[in-house]
Amino acid sequence: MYIFIAALSVNSVLLSTVTYPKLFVDVLSEKQIISISACRFQHFMCYSIAGSDFLLLSAMAFDRYVSICKPLKYPVIMRQTTINTLLFLSWFVPGLQIAVLHTLVLNNKLCNFTLKGILCNNSLWKLYCESPRATLIYGLVVMLSVVIFPVFFILFTYAKIFLITYRSSRAIQKKAAETCLPHLFVLSIFTTLCAYDVIIGRLELDFPKTAQLIMTLQVIFYNPLLNPFIYGLKMKEISKHLKRLFCHEGENWRCRR
C-alpha cells in the first residue's frame, strides 16, 4: 500500500511540474503562447499521468481486496515481483498508448492556432485540419483500457470487500471503511473531473469561460493537494513522523501524543 501511495505522489509531482510553471508564466504574461511541440509534450504527460493514476488506484483496490478478504494469502499473492509488475504496467501502458495517439497525428497539418483553455488538453485535437477516424477509434480504445475498465474493476472490488466485511465483526468493518472510503472519494472526484475534461475537449459546447477556467484548475489542483491529506495523514506512521518533525520536547509548542 505504501509503495502505491508513493507512486501516486510521484505522479502528483510530475503533473505539478508539467502544468504549474507554464501556468504561472501565462498569468504574468500579456500574451499566452506555447509551441506546438511543448503543447504536445504537456498533453502527453498530463494524460499519461491521468491514465497511470487510474491503474494505480486499481492496483490499490486489488491490494486492499487481498489484504482484507484473503489475509493469509497476502504474502504469497502480493510479492515484490507482483508489485513491481503492477507499477511497471501502471506507468508504461498509458504512456505507450498516448505516444501512439500522438504518432497517428504527427504529420497532420494545423488549421487553427488558438487553443481554447489554459492547458493542452483534448482541445489540442481541434487545432488540426482533420481528425482521422482511426484516431477517434483509438482514443476510445485508450479511454476504455485505462479509465472505464479500471473504474468498473475498482467498484466491483470494493463491492466485494463491503459484502464480505458486512458479515464480519465491527472491527473488520471499521478497518475496511477507513481503508476503502478515502480511495472511493478520490476515485469519484478524479473520474468526474476527467469526464468533464474529455467531454469539453471533444464536444464544442457553449461553456462559460470563467466556469471552464475554474473546472480546469480543479483538474490539476485536486489530486496534488488532496492526496497527501487523504492518504498520508490517515496513516499512523506518517502522522507520528510529522508530529516528531514539527513538535520537539523543550519547545513552547504543545503536541498531543
**Domain with 117 in it: what CATH number?**
1.20.1070.10
Asked if residue 257 belongs to a domain, the reply is: no
Asked if residue 251 belongs to a domain, the reply is: no
CA 116, CA 32: separation in Å to the nearest integer? 11
Asked if residue 201 belongs to a domain, the reply is: yes
Containing structural domain, residue 171: 1-245
Domain count, the chain: 1
Strand, coil or helix: 193: helix
Rg (CA), the chain: 21
Asked if residue 250 belongs to a domain, the reply is: no
Asked if residue 255 belongs to a domain, the reply is: no
One digit per residue, pLDDT tens: the chain, 257 residues? 788 888 888 888 888 888 888 888 888 888 888 888 888 898 899 889 989 999 999 998 999 889 888 888 999 999 999 999 999 999 999 999 999 988 888 777 888 777 777 788 777 877 787 766 777 788 888 888 988 899 999 999 988 888 888 777 777 777 777 777 777 877 888 888 777 777 766 665 566 667 667 777 777 777 677 766 666 656 666 667 777 777 754 454 455 54
Nearest residue to 48 (alpha-carbon basis) of 58, 56, 59: 56
Asked if residue 122 belongs to a domain, the reply is: yes
pTM (predicted TM-score): 0.83
Nearest residue to 220 (alpha-carbon basis) of 193, 201, 199: 193
